[in-house]
Structure 1
Amino acid sequence: MIKGLYRGATSSFVGMAVEGSLFFGIYSQTKMYLQGGVQSGEPRPQVIIPSAAYSGAIISFVLGPTELIKCRMQIQGTDSLVPKSSRYSSPLDCALKTVETEGVKGIFRGGCTTLLRESIGNAVFMSVYEYVRHQMHSNIKVSSSNYSNLVDIGIGIAAGGLGGVGFWLTVLPLDVAKTLIQTNPDKNCPRNPFRVLSSVYQRAGLKGCYAGLGPTISRAFPANAATIVAWELALKMLSIRRD
């Protein structure tokens, strides 16, 4: 059924909406603070990296629980995986049963791995985005203001898409470890992502650590391109200046 392809999507959509607004808001404010309130045209890694890493760390507290629910909803796809008696009827049911069986801390299982993924990944994402955007704006001359918006959208698509690809190429192994930690039925399973990845590497090699790389990269470019274009358009509509 088509519905099965979107299992766990509700919590993911909620998480992404909150994540996006939080991340870009915190990133912009932190970046401005580290720049001393002064606009700077040249990308500065000493500003971009800590701003993005800090923002990623903050949103991980939202993403951790929502992704745990999403992952647990997704793995109950067939009777052979999860018996009907143990299935979750909704994301809320999943959250409540998790808290009931594992306590409040259970809903934050894999939180440290999520924090690492978001901090490192977003530092890479924003660095690639800011540098690609700066270079493209510096080298593309627009002869007419009529084409200015189209050029900005094109640059946003390229810079955002490449940033998203950079994010996942860097931290996909951490995402693999996070998913294994969050979906392991054993409440006492190892929580150290590097220990989990070491086990995966011993069983399946480097390929196992990058499981799902193709679909992830295929999604990363258009998804992040759309996110960046939406963010940049929102800034223009709100008349908010940026570098």
Structure 2
Amino acid sequence: MILLNAQWGESAGFSSGYKEYVAGMLAGVATVIVGHPFDTVKVKGLYCGATSSFVGMAFESSLAFGIYSQTKHFLQGNPESGKPQLLAILPSGAFAGGFISFILCPSELVKCRMQVQGADSILQSSSRYRSPVDCALKTVKSEGLTGLFRRAGATFFRESIGNAVFFSTYEYVRYYMHKPLRDASSDLTHVIDVGVGIVSGGLGGIACWSAVLPLDVAKTIIQTSTEKNHTRNPVKILELIYRRSGIRGCYTGLGPTIVRAFPANASAIVTWELAMKILGIKRD
């Protein structure tokens, strides 16, 4: 779930789109390197499922960055003021999130099942998954191809809402931090860019997960359930959780998620901006 620098110069039009996808892929790799150990705290297993996370996040991030950037550029063009345009940011982020959810769903299902397996020491060896590929094949064999898309609806809404919240927070924090700092210290441009990227990306990640964590709790339950008749309706699952544990139950794992969100998203933004500079895309 991630992340993009929005205010590019005149060279950031559709002609440079492929560079944004490449930079986004690198940002996704950085996100997994920094964030995966924190992410596994919710369902244990340390680096179990990391392979699928690298692959899934690389594609997810590449598409999220590229689609968001291109859609936003289409909707708002190059505003003279450089100020974020919420009516362009929200639909662009939601569209990017909704699109990547269909790619992310199978990858996350495999990751969650590998992680839960790693935490279950009494699971019979014959029932264990030997690798992410083995997990995917066994899922298809027992549940059909649609089994890989368990909780696709929950993922769609989580990613759409989450990306819209992330990009909006990121854009506005960056805008209001960057200008006064740049004006005050023009000789420290690179240091300022990194600092602003860390803060804006980190706060964007916290805002995103604060908004969508209940949906993530629901989708994890759906994906890891071994009962064939278990409901796949995230709303019903959240209702059950709320009745049993209240609002705290809907935010299970909030602490580790917030701790993960800041460094993971900050590293993604810093990597994204550095990659864009290396690839020759100039910002305002």
Find out whether 1:92 has 2:133 as its counterpart: yes
Deviates more, 1:217-226 or 1:135-144: 135-144
**8 Å CA contact 1:39, 1:242 repeated in 2:** no
Find out whether 1:239 has 2:280 as its counterpart: yes
- Cα distance change of structure 1 residues 4 and 213 upon mapping to structure 2, 3 Å threshold: closer
**8 Å CA contact 2:217, 2:251 repeated in 1:** yes
Find out whether 1:176 has 2:217 as its counterpart: yes
- Cα distance change of structure 1 residues 183 and 40 upon mapping to structure 2, 3 Å threshold: farther
- Cα distance change of structure 1 residues 193 and 4 upon mapping to structure 2, 3 Å threshold: closer
Aligned residue in 2 for 1:228: 269
Gaps of 5+ in 1: none
Find out whether 1:148 has 2:219 as its counterpart: no
**8 Å CA contact 2:202, 2:261 repeated in 1:** yes
**8 Å CA contact 1:69, 1:91 repeated in 2:** yes
**Deviation of the 1:139 alpha carbon:** 2.1
- Cα distance change of structure 1 residues 238 and 39 upon mapping to structure 2, 3 Å threshold: farther
Q: How many residues align?
A: 240
**Deviation of the 1:205 alpha carbon:** 0.9
Alignment partners' CA distance in 2, 1:40 and 1:64: 38
**8 Å CA contact 1:32, 1:38 repeated in 2:** no
Aligned residue in 2 for 1:199: 240
Moved over 6 A (4+): none
**8 Å CA contact 1:142, 1:148 repeated in 2:** no
What is the 5 A alignment of 1:113-128? 113-128=154-169
Amino acid at match of 1:78: D
Alignment partners' CA distance in 1, 2:182 and 2:120: 55
TM-score, L = length of structure 1: 0.94
Q: Deviations over 1:157-182 (max 9, x none)?
A: 00000000001100000000000001
Deviates more, 1:233-242 or 1:192-201: 233-242
- Cα distance change of structure 1 residues 149 and 129 upon mapping to structure 2, 3 Å threshold: same
**8 Å CA contact 1:8, 1:70 repeated in 2:** yes
Gaps of 5+ in 2: 1-43
Alignment partners' CA distance in 1, 2:45 and 2:238: 29
Identity score, percent: 60
What is the 5 A alignment of 1:1-243? 4-36=45-77, 41-76=82-117, 77-80=119-122, 82-142=123-183, 145-242=186-283
- Cα distance change of structure 1 residues 4 and 74 upon mapping to structure 2, 3 Å threshold: closer
SS of match in other structure, 2:252: coil
**Deviation of the 1:241 alpha carbon:** 4.0
Q: Deviations over 1:16-72 (max 9, x none)?
A: 111111110111111111114656601111000000000011111111000000001
**8 Å CA contact 2:89, 2:164 repeated in 1:** yes
Q: Deviations over 1:107-133 (max 9, x none)?
A: 011111011100001100000000000
**Deviation of the 1:79 alpha carbon:** 3.4
Alignment partners' CA distance in 2, 1:4 and 1:126: 30
**8 Å CA contact 2:218, 2:238 repeated in 1:** yes
**Deviation of the 1:14 alpha carbon:** 1.2
Alignment partners' CA distance in 2, 1:211 and 1:47: 33
Alignment partners' CA distance in 2, 1:226 and 1:242: 19
Aligned residue in 1 for 2:31: none
Amino acid at match of 1:85: S
Alignment partners' CA distance in 1, 2:213 and 2:141: 30
Calculate the aligned-residue CA RMSD, in Å.
1.7
